Amino acid sequence: MAPRILLARHGQTRWSLSGKHTGRTDIPLLEEGRRGAKLLGERLCHGSWAGLPDVEVRTSPLSRAKETCELAGFGDRARDWDALLEWDYGAYEGMTPAEIRAARPGWLIWRDGVPEGESVASIAARADEVVAWARSADRDVLVFAHGHILRTLGARWLGYDVSFGARIRLDPTSLSVLGWAYGEPAIERWNDTGHLA
């Protein structure tokens, strides 16, 4: 079987709840985010997932992703990886899209990037590194990270430009699976939050 990559977005934080761009600021999980992480872990321990005994696990080193990983029950198997850090939003850190567009009408991060932060080319290169690692594995892999880097991973897995990430939303504590169909990269599951219901 060709390897798949399972994507887990971190649980809810105060900034994700308000829509603020949370790049490298290390915001802790809310209680709702901790509960969601535990529910995600319960889901992955049962049914067809059966605890993913052979999965290789990597996590962003930021606490909201690491704590989600730990609460989901994968902390003892996880390795930190800077390639999974969230987009560095530079001057736009802590701002909402509406606040940014008030000063810069028509702005779209996927096209325009951010001043004093990480370029679109840089986040694409990091995502490509993760995709190459996942495809070279001899087993499924599981990553715990953040909304924009995971959306970029989705785009790059499929062979699309980073801008495709604008079309594939991700909610906190969601589960997504990137795999294969007819020998081509495919989305098997996206933004699945069924475990939170």
| 86 part of the active site | yes
Token pair, residue 130, equals 């993760």
Q: Please report the sign of the dihedral spanned by the C-alpha atoms of residue 173, residue 175, residue 178, residue 181.
A: negative
At position 56, the amino acid (one-letter code) is: E
Identify the active-site residue in 70, 86, 93, 118.
86
Per-residue pLDDT tens over the stretch 167-193: 999 999 999 999 999 999 999 999 999
Per-residue pLDDT tens over the stretch 32-64: 999 999 999 999 998 778 878 889 999 999 999
Token pair, residue 182, equals 């007819």
Token pair, residue 127, equals 């995502």
Per-residue pLDDT tens over the stretch 126-164: 999 999 999 998 899 999 999 999 999 999 999 999 999
What CA–CA distances, in Å, run from 162 to 126, 150, 158, 165, 188? 11, 11, 10, 6, 19
Domains with residue ranges and CATH for the chain: 5-196 (3.40.50.1240)
Q: Please report the sign of the dihedral spanned by the C-alpha atoms of residue 49, residue 50, residue 56, residue 59.
A: positive
Q: Name the pairing type of β-strands 175-181 and 184-192.
A: antiparallel
Rounded to the nearest 10°, the torsion over CA 33, 142, 194, 47 is -120
